[in-house]
Amino acid sequence: MRFVLLLLILLACAPPPAAMARDVDRAEVLRKINVAGRQRMLSQRIVMTACLENAGADAPLNRTKGEGAEALFQHSQAALRAGADDLRLGPETDARVIEALAKVEAYWPKYLAAVEEVRAADPGASTTRLRAAARKMLGLTEDVVESLGTAYDDGAGVSAMATTVNIAGRQRMLIQKTMMEACFAAVGGHGAALSRRVGASKTLFERSLANLMIGDARQGILPPPTAEIDAKLITVVRIWRWLGADFTQLAEGVPVTAERLGQLARASEIVLVTMNQSVTLYEAQ
């Protein structure tokens, strides 16, 4: 009896536990992962457009795209933390997720300064600082996605679909990252290191696309749950077949003009839109 009383006293006096994830339904969990995953894509899209603008590849269009991506990034970041009706998100309560979001917000001014520096620079200016900012922000946004996966992992159906939404969502980022690195390679004189990054991102995109097409139980990736998703993925394969060949040539050092960079960027937009439609369909399952 004394032991029970002592235990109750200790429990009553113990400090409160760290904030944990509130109960959310399956749809909101998948929505959170979709929106957080889109932040990864936007972190690369903003930098991609700055590089293309500096290179003279559809400069006005890419300035508009970049500013739009910045606005969406900031709105989505606020929504992930505090909730937003238009994104159907409630406020975040898990301490791990909140900490990861805070790191993104702390780095945002430095990241944006690197973007603006290249936008305002003369054509051919160094992109070293911008490349570093892209890598850093990508890592921070990836940490948010990972923390969400940990916070809302139920070990069952939500977890399985969340993994698939995460990988499908990552494809959006890889489309923009490959295009971004193609631009860096073009303006940087096709240095070996820059060219290798184009090839590495392209390869990861293609491997992940194959896994989404057939499923991969070892990685927790489900096969397409509907015919509509399957059709979208097939469309991505068909478009990427020739776009990926161009990226391969660029990675191998084939010279590319600003006009050609603009053409590649426009083509990659079609893949991005189709892949984003696929992620939305996955989220709805």
pLDDT, tens digit, for every residue of 182-193? 999 888 765 677
Q: Is the pTM of this model over 0.85?
A: yes
Radius of gyration of the CA atoms of the chain, in A: 21
pLDDT, one tens digit per residue, over 12-25 is 444 343 444 445 68
Residue predicted with more confidence, 168 or 18: 168
26 pLDDT more than 90? no
Q: What is the pLDDT of residue 208?
A: 97
Confidence at 251, pLDDT banded by 50, 70, 90 = confident
pLDDT, one tens digit per residue, over 66-121 is 999 999 999 999 999 999 999 999 999 999 999 999 999 999 999 999 999 999 98
Determine what percent of the chain is predicted with pLDDT higher than 90.
69
Tell how far CA 217 is from the center of its chain: 23
Residues linked to residue 221 through DSSP beta bridges, in sequence order: 216
Q: What is the pLDDT of residue 32?
A: 95
From the list 11, 16, 32, the residue with the least C-alpha distance to 145 is 32
Kindly list the domain boundaries of the chain, sorted by start residue. Answer: 23-283
Amino acid making up residue 149:
G
What interhelical angle do 59-82 and 26-55 show, nearest 10? Answer: 150
Measured in degrees and rounded to the nearest 5, phi and psi for residue 216 equal -150, 100
Structure tokens at 253: 């050092």
In this structure, of 35-44, 135-144, 242-251, 269-278, the range with the lowest mean pLDDT score is 242-251
In the chain the first and final C-alpha atoms are separated, in Å, by: 52
